[in-house]
Amino acid sequence: MLRSFAAACAAGLVLLSAASPASPASAAPPPDGPGRGFVPAYIGGPATPKPLAGDPVPANPHQGPVGLSSMHADSYASDTYPFLGPLGRNPKVTAEAKAGGLLPGLCSTVTFAKRTGLIVAQCTRGQNFELRLMDPATLKDLATFPLPPRPSTVQAVFGLDLDKVLTDTSGGAYYYLDDQDRAVLADSAFHVRRFAHEKGADGAWKFRVTDDWDLSSYVPHDCATWTNPWPKGECDPITAVGPDWTGLIWWITRGGRIGTIDPATGRVRATRLPGEQIQNSFAASAEGVSVVSDHALYLLRAGADGTPATAWRRAYDRGTGRKSGQIDQGSGTTPTFFGNGLVAITDNADDRMHVLVLRARDGARVCSVPVFGSGASATDNSLVGYGRSLFVENNHGYRNFVELPPGGSSTGGVSRIDAAAHGCTTAWTSAERSPSTVAKASVPAGLLYLYTKEPRNDLIDAWYFTAVDVHTGRTVYKVLTGTGKWYDNNWAPITIGPDGTGYVGIVGGIAAIRDTP
């Protein structure tokens, strides 16, 4: 008998319903779990801006402005913003529930259209994915567009394996806004589509598909469906899309396939990394496209006909298995370009994870720096990179929002690594526990933003938007967003808006943190 997705997620949903007897409405914030009145709403004090040194991140001419256009903020995947984030001055938190009944409604990626100033986001609604257009001030939906369901959802239901869903990065989260504010997204039906947003004759906002490229003839697509949950063929979902510096649209799959689309002609070219998988997104600079598989870091460039070709490949220590705090065996990071010609990832070494820095032009190793404690280091989030500095968080001990016990947290730790011609050094290490968020930094504010949770014996799950001084590692302030499972962010990123608002995708929807007079 077919079991509903809610039944397959029962272990986690029992915790959610225990935190609140009623499901959140679509026009209200997610409900808090127990204990909100027993934890401080604000810790620390306002920050005084002190910029992080370095040259500005170059803008990809075929992507939206730096800081507005992708999960990792820009084509370099720097995870930095050229504008101020919240400084902690009388902060106000607002949240909007995006859930469907007792099922999660997490907003995985938030971007900003330059022309309209509106949020374009990819969110879940129960077991479904949607592209959403939101008012950045109220977080209300102005338009939605349903996306095809992921095969992993079917596998989770029929195989009673929630990990299938929670380790699947396909479905559209790694999309981007192009230089015309169009969302370019690869869906679970093996199509790459461009979406414009506009007002209709009735004055209502809507999404409109302007281009549609079918990649099913280039990618195996015998995938699980509700009518055929046990297909015999191969299914290789597309996980990410992004533009290179020439305007080609690159795409990658979980199974190691890498391809390009020429948007002017529709021509598609593809290659494959045999025996390797790609779990994360990729970065692009004038040097080429950097992709990390579960075995090696690559720099690729398109040939004359658009076919991706390897400029260099550098294997890394992938360890002996998947660690707690990662969703596969291998590097958990999207590559990050930084420091005028460098590219960085982390490895998956068994004892201690290392931050690896290489020269982008030839793959020569600059340094390898071990981080965090013996037997307790892992990350599944992109490094933050700007100037000569990298910031890395420790996700060891966190798997997903369902398995995190009440009052529990990750092992913790956040470090700054500085690269120099003679090697690299660890500038500082903070004890903050940021279990799973994609951390971000505001360059002019000089603040690194985390989403933190301390372990508590009273079992209260208190989640904080946390600002750390990039220069010293000192925690400047913390703002309580909420308590309970609905406020776990379950691998969603922090995003800084152009007006200085901080946004966090949470299991129940999305939260915003703003300075007020």
- pLDDT at position 166: 67
Cα–Cα nearest to 430, from 472, 388, 477 = 472
1 has pLDDT over 50: no
- pLDDT at position 25: 39
- pLDDT at position 17: 38
- pLDDT at position 102: 55
- pLDDT at position 18: 38
* Mean pLDDT of the region 502-511: 96
Angle, CA of 184, 190 and 191, to the nearest 5°: 40
290 has pLDDT over 50: yes
* 34-67 residue pLDDT tens: 999 999 999 999 999 999 999 999 999 999 999 9
Print the domain residue range for 428: 5-514
Taking the alpha carbons of 100, 101, 104, 106 in that order, is the dihedral positive or negative?
Answer: positive
* Mean pLDDT of the region 151-179: 79
8-state DSSP, 491: T
Residue 320: CB atoms within 10 Å:
10
Phi, psi of 357 (to 5 degrees): -120, 130
| Summary mean pLDDT of the chain | 91
Collapsed DSSP state (helix, strand, coil) of residue 252? strand
- pLDDT at position 4: 33
The answer to which of 165-174, 215-224, 478-487 has the lowest mean pLDDT is: 165-174
- pLDDT at position 5: 32
- Cα–Cα distance between 147 and 161 in angstroms, integer? 22
- pLDDT at position 371: 98
80 has pLDDT over 60: yes
214 has pLDDT over 60: yes
Helix (H), strand (E), coil (C) string for 123-165:
EEECCEEEEEEECCCCCCEEEEEEECCCHHHHHHHHHCCCHHH
- pLDDT at position 163: 66
9 has pLDDT over 50: no
The answer to which of 12-21, 97-106, 224-233, 442-451 has the lowest mean pLDDT is: 12-21
Cα–Cα nearest to 244, from 186, 284, 299 = 284
- pLDDT at position 149: 84
480 has pLDDT over 90: yes
Task: Look up tokens 């000089």; give the residue.
Answer: 446
Between 26 and 223, where is the model more confident? Answer: 223
pLDDT band at 10 (very low <50, low <70, confident <90, very high): very low
Total domain count, the chain: 1
Full-prediction pTM beyond 0.95? no
* Mean pLDDT of the region 95-103: 73
* Mean pLDDT of the region 107-129: 91
8-state DSSP, 151: H
* Mean pLDDT of the region 282-306: 98
The answer to which of 81-90, 126-135, 367-376 has the lowest mean pLDDT is: 126-135
**Is residue 256 within 8 Å of 328, Cβ to Cβ?**
no
- pLDDT at position 421: 78
* 178-201 residue pLDDT tens: 999 999 999 999 999 999 999 999
Between 104 and 462, where is the model more confident? Answer: 462
**Is residue 223 within 8 Å of 155, Cβ to Cβ?**
no
Cα–Cα nearest to 221, from 252, 193, 189 = 189
pLDDT band at 100 (very low <50, low <70, confident <90, very high): low
CATH code assigned at 487: 2.130.10.10
pLDDT band at 27 (very low <50, low <70, confident <90, very high): low
- pLDDT at position 26: 44
- pLDDT at position 12: 40
**How many helices and strands in the chain, by DSSP H and E?**
4, 34
- pLDDT at position 439: 98
* Percent of the chain whose pLDDT exceeds 90: 80
Token pair for 419: 């690269």
